[in-house]
Structure 1
Amino acid sequence: MADDVVRYELRGAALKLFHCRDNEVLMSGAAGTGKSVAALAKVHLTCLHVPKTRALIVRKTHSSLTASTLVTFRQKVAAEALAHGVVHFYGGSAQEPASFRYANGSVIVVGGLDRATRLLSTEYDLVFVDEAVETTPEDLDTLVTRLRNGRLSYQQLIMATNPGPPSHHLKLRADAGRCRMLYSSHEDNPRLYQNGEWTDYGRDYLARLDSLTGPRYERMRWGKWVAAEGLIYEDWNEAVHLVDRFDVPHDWPRWWVVDFGYTNPFVWQDWRQDPDGRLYLVREVYHTRRLVEDHARQIKAVAAEHPDEPAPQAVICDHDAEDRATLEKHLGMATVPAKKTVSDGIQAVQSRLKTAGDGQPRLYVMRDAVVERDQALADAGKPASTAEEFTSYVWAVKPGAHGGLKEQPLKVNDHGMDTTRYLVAGLDLVGTGTIHTPARPPRGTPSPAVSRYARTLGNRTGPATGGRRR
C-alpha cells in the first residue's frame, strides 16, 4: 500500500472540505464544480489512511446512486486502488449491503435511502449524501444518528448538492447553523480551469450553462439559492409530491402519455390513479437524441418487466401525425390526441397540486420514476425528469420597458410539464371529450378509447416508419 499514490488537486471549497471537522458540512455550488468528486475523495482517502474506518455513501434512490455517484467513484476517485486490489467491491447479500472493502479493514457501504433498512443497521464515521437536495430533513436526521463508530477523531455528515430555492430545508439548515455551507466555484475544478485560464473543455461547458435561463441559470451557472420568478406551480413541494416507490395495486387505472422530441426530450409517462382519484407518475422515459422507434422499444421492454400490470386505458399523444404513426406501429397500440389547451390545463394541474380536504394533494411523482437518466441533460444543467421541471416552469415575461408576466408559460424545459398537462386536462376538464375515468375492465382488455381508435388504423394508407428529428 505504501507504493500506491493518489493524486488529487485541492482547491477552494474542496480544500476547505478536507480540513473541515464540523459535524455537518454541505458542499453547495454551480454545476460541474467538483463537489461530488471532492466529497468522494475525502471519504476514499480517509479510508485508505485510517484502518477500520466505516463510511456510507448514499443518494435518495439506489438507482440514481449506481448510475452516477458510483460511476464517478470508480472512474475518477478509486480507479487505481481498485485496479491494484487495495479496494474490492462486494455486491452484497441478504445479510449485508453492497460495499467497497479496503485491505486495511476500512469499508464504504453504498446504497439508496429507498432501501435503507440494512444501511442504517450499523454505525459509521463518515456519511456522504450526494445530491442532498433530493432528501428530506427526516432522512438527514436519521443519518446523523448513525455517526458513532468512533474510529476517527471526529464523525461527519458530508452533503453535496446543486442549489435549489432559498426555502429548501438544506439552505434553512445551514442558515440555522446546523451545518457548515461551503460554496464551490468553477475555478475549483482543474478540468475547467488551469493556470489562470479556462481550459477548452471549461469554455465549452460554461457555454452550455450560459444557454440556460431563469432560476436554472442562476443555480447551475452561479451556484445561487434562488427561487423562480413567476413560478407557475407554486404549490409544488418535493417533500410532499415526491414519494418513494410502492407496489401499485393492479386494479388502479393506467394511462400512458407522450410528448415527442429528438433534440428536445422525448417524454413518455406511465400514470396510475388510485380509488380516490389521485394520480401517480410511476415511470417515465425522458431522453434526447433517439428516434421514436427506439423509444417504443424501450417502452415495450419496460412494460414487459411488469407483465401483470393492466393495459393502459389510453395512449395520449402530442398531435404530430408522423411521430404518432411511428409510435403506433412500433408499440402495436393505437393512440389518442392530447387536449393541448394551455391556460385551463395549467389551472387543472395547479388544482391537483394543492392539498385537498383530506390533507393530501391529487398528484404525486415517484422519486425513481425515470427508467434511464439522460446524463447529457444533467451534465448541461438541464432538467432530466418531469420532477426537475416543476421548480423552473415559469410564466413568460412580456417584452418592453415595463415587462410583466404573460399568461403563457416560457417555452423552455417544459416537456414533462406539457405531458403532465395532457393527462390532467383530459381527465379533469369538463367537456373535453378526450379521456374519462373508466369503469375498470378485466385485466388485459383494451379500454373503449383504445378500441375505438384501433378501428381507425385499418383505414390508413400506412403509417410512416421513420422517426422524425425535432
Structure 2
Amino acid sequence: MTPDLAAISPKQHLSMVKSTARINLWTGAIRSGKTISSLLRWLQYVANEAPQSGVLFMVGQTKDTINRNLFEPLQDPAIYGPLSRFVHYVPGSDFAWIMGRKVFLVGANDVKAFRRIRGSTCAGAYVDEVTLLPPNFLTELLGRMSLKGAKMFGTTNPDGPAHWLKVEYIDRARELGIRHFTFTLDDNPSLDPEYVESIKREHSGLWYQRLILGKWVAAEGIVYDAWSPEAHVVRTMPRIDRWFSVGLDYGTTNPLDAILLGRGTDEHGVTRIYAGSEWRHDPKVAKIRLTDAQHSSNLQEWLQQTPREDGSTERGVRPDFICVDPSAASFMEQLMADRVHGLAPADNHVLDGIRTVSSLIAMDRLRVHESCKPLISELSSYSWDDKATEKGEDKPMKVADHAVDALRYGIHTTQTLWRPHIGRLTHAAA
C-alpha cells in the first residue's frame, strides 16, 4: 500500500523517498510537517517492507504521549484519509494493529525502560521525540534490530548542540549511514500564513531558534530574554475578571513565595494575565522560620487582605486554584487540614512551563504589578546553567528562583482556564 502524497510538500515527499537507511531521523521546527511525513513513511514500511518475523514497536515518553502525538492524528481521516481505516488502537492498550500488523507500544521515560524491550527481536520501530528518551533505551533498541531490513524512524524537535542524540548520532550521520532530514516552520506550505506569523511572534530567543528555525542551539544567558521591566511592569491594575490561581513555591530554610494571578482586560481591549500580588516569607531576612501552620494562616490572611480589583473597593480574593510546589507534601497536608479552597499539585515540567511563560512574555500577554518586587527582580536575572548546558542538558540555575517557580506553577498548571481568553497562543505539536 502506498500513502497518498497529494497533500504533502516536496520536502516531505523527498524525506519519505530517501528514508531507506537503518536509522532515519526527522528533526526541526514545530508544525513543520516532519511528523506527518514520518508517520506516512512508517505506514508504508509496516505495510510493505518490514520483516515478517520480529516485533514492531512504537515508542514515546509515555503511552499517553504516544496516543496524543501519534494515534490521534493517525486515526483522523481528515489528516490521513482512507489510511486511517488501517490503524486500530484503543487508548491505554499495550498494542495496536497497523496495516494488519501487530505493533507494540512502549513508554520510555526512565533509564530502566530498556528492560521493556529486552529479549525482543525488533523488525522496526517508530520513535517519537527521541531527545526526550534515555540514551540507553535507543542503544538497546538499535541492538535489537538484527533482522535484515529492520529500520528505525524517529522524530524530534532540536535540543542543545551537546545533546547525546546530536553528538552521538546526527553529527556522525555520514559515518553511521543515518538519513537525517531537517525542517523549519516555513517548510510546511499547508499552514495558514496568519497562523505562521502568530506562532513566530509567540517565541523568542532560544525557543525561536529551536522551535521555529529548527536549530540545535545552546540554552545560555537569561531564561526570559524578552522580559522588560519597563514594558511589562504596571503601576495600576485593570479590572480583573477572574483570579484563576496562586502559584506557590515552598521553602523552609529558603523563601516561601506565592504569586496571585488573574485575567484582566485593559482600556484598549487587550486581555492579559496579571501577577497582581506577591506574598513571600524569607527566613534569612525575617530571622525566623515559620511552621506549616503559620504559613497556612499567613497565606489565608494575605488572600483576605488582597484588593479584588473588580471595580469594587472590597478586599478578599478566592482564586480557583492554589498550585502548590509538588515537593511540599507536608505543607499540602496542612492546607488540606485547614480546608483551603482549590488545592492542586503544580505541574512541574520545568521546560514546558518555562516555554509557556516565555510565550506569554513574547506576546506581551503577561504583566506584573510593581508591588511584586522579588518576582520582578528574578525575572530579570533568571539564567540558564552553563555547566548543565555543557553536559547537553537544559536547566535553569537554582539561584534566586522562588518567585519565578511560583509564577510558572500558577500559569502552566491552569492553562485551560486562561488560554481561551488570551489570544492565539499555542503549543502546537511537532
Give the TM-score range, shorter chain: 0.5 to 0.7
Residue of structure 2 equivalent to 1:62: 63
Does the aligned pair in 2 maintain the 1:57–1:110 contact within 8 Å? Answer: yes
Deviation at 1:217, TM superposition (A): 1.1
- SS of structure 1 residue aligned to 2:104: strand
Q: Deviations over 1:152-210 (max 9, x none)?
A: xx322222111122111122121133444321133432412xxxxxxxx1332233213
2:379 to 406, 409, 418: 409
Q: Deviations over 1:72-96 (max 9, x none)?
A: 222265552344xx44326677xxx
Residue of structure 1 equivalent to 2:18: 19
Structure 1 residues 424, 407: closer, same or farther in 2, change over 3 A? closer
Does the aligned pair in 2 maintain the 1:25–1:157 contact within 8 Å? Answer: yes
Q: Deviations over 1:188-241 (max 9, x none)?
A: 32412xxxxxxxx133223321342111111122111112341469xxxxxxxx
- SS of structure 2 residue aligned to 1:219: helix
Matched, 1:130 2:128: yes
Residue of structure 2 equivalent to 1:302: none
Does the aligned pair in 2 maintain the 1:23–1:155 contact within 8 Å? Answer: yes
1:80 to 79, 82, 85: 82
Deviation at 1:31, TM superposition (A): 1.6
**Residue correspondence of structure 1 range 36-435 to structure 2 within 5 A:** 36-50=35-49, 52=52, 54-75=55-76, 78=80, 80-83=82-85, 86-89=86-89, 97-103=94-100, 106-114=101-109, 116=113, 117-150=115-148, 154-173=149-168, 174-177=170-173, 178=176, 179-192=178-191, 201-231=192-222, 322=308, 325-327=317-319, 333-334=339-340, 384-385=352-353, 409-410=379-380, 421-422=402-403
Deviation at 1:55, TM superposition (A): 3.1
In 2, the alpha carbon distance for the partners of 1:111 and 1:412 equals 36
Structure 1 residues 35, 386: closer, same or farther in 2, change over 3 A? same
Question: Structure 2, unaligned stretches of length 5 or more?
Answer: 225-239, 254-260, 265-270, 274-291, 310-315, 323-335, 362-375, 385-395, 407-416, 423-430
In 2, the alpha carbon distance for the partners of 1:408 and 1:99 equals 47
Does the aligned pair in 2 maintain the 1:129–1:158 contact within 8 Å? Answer: yes
In 2, the alpha carbon distance for the partners of 1:264 and 1:208 equals 27
Residue of structure 1 equivalent to 2:426: none
Higher helix share: 2
TM superposition score normalised by structure 1: 0.49
In 1, the alpha carbon distance for the partners of 2:70 and 2:160 equals 23
Does the aligned pair in 2 maintain the 1:109–1:119 contact within 8 Å? Answer: no
- SS of structure 2 residue aligned to 1:31: coil
Does the aligned pair in 2 maintain the 1:25–1:158 contact within 8 Å? Answer: yes
Does the aligned pair in 1 maintain the 2:74–2:84 contact within 8 Å? Answer: no
Structure 1 residues 186, 291: closer, same or farther in 2, change over 3 A? closer
- SS of structure 1 residue aligned to 2:89: strand
In 1, the alpha carbon distance for the partners of 2:205 and 2:357 equals 12
- SS of structure 2 residue aligned to 1:28: strand
- SS of structure 1 residue aligned to 2:319: helix
In 1, the alpha carbon distance for the partners of 2:162 and 2:400 equals 27
Structure 1 residues 387, 182: closer, same or farther in 2, change over 3 A? same
What percent identity do the matched residue pairs reach? 18
Structure 1 residues 191, 48: closer, same or farther in 2, change over 3 A? same
Deviation at 1:33, TM superposition (A): 0.5
TM superposition score normalised by structure 2: 0.53
Structure 1 residues 265, 65: closer, same or farther in 2, change over 3 A? farther
In 1, the alpha carbon distance for the partners of 2:130 and 2:357 equals 18
Which of 1 and 2 has higher RCO (CA within 8 Å, sep 6+)? 2
Aligned residues: 301
Does the aligned pair in 2 maintain the 1:123–1:148 contact within 8 Å? Answer: yes
Q: Deviations over 1:411-432 (max 9, x none)?
A: 9999x9999614989xxxxxxx
Q: Deviations over 1:34-70 (max 9, x none)?
A: 1111111111122233474853221122222223332
In 2, the alpha carbon distance for the partners of 1:111 and 1:262 equals 44
Amino acid at match of 2:153: I
Q: Deviations over 1:289-337 (max 9, x none)?
A: 9999xxxxxxxxxxxxxxxxxx9996779976649831389988449xx
Does the aligned pair in 2 maintain the 1:90–1:101 contact within 8 Å? Answer: no
Structure 1 residues 187, 211: closer, same or farther in 2, change over 3 A? closer
Does the aligned pair in 2 maintain the 1:13–1:27 contact within 8 Å? Answer: no
Does the aligned pair in 1 maintain the 2:246–2:321 contact within 8 Å? Answer: no
Structure 1 residues 172, 264: closer, same or farther in 2, change over 3 A? farther
Does the aligned pair in 2 maintain the 1:215–1:227 contact within 8 Å? Answer: yes
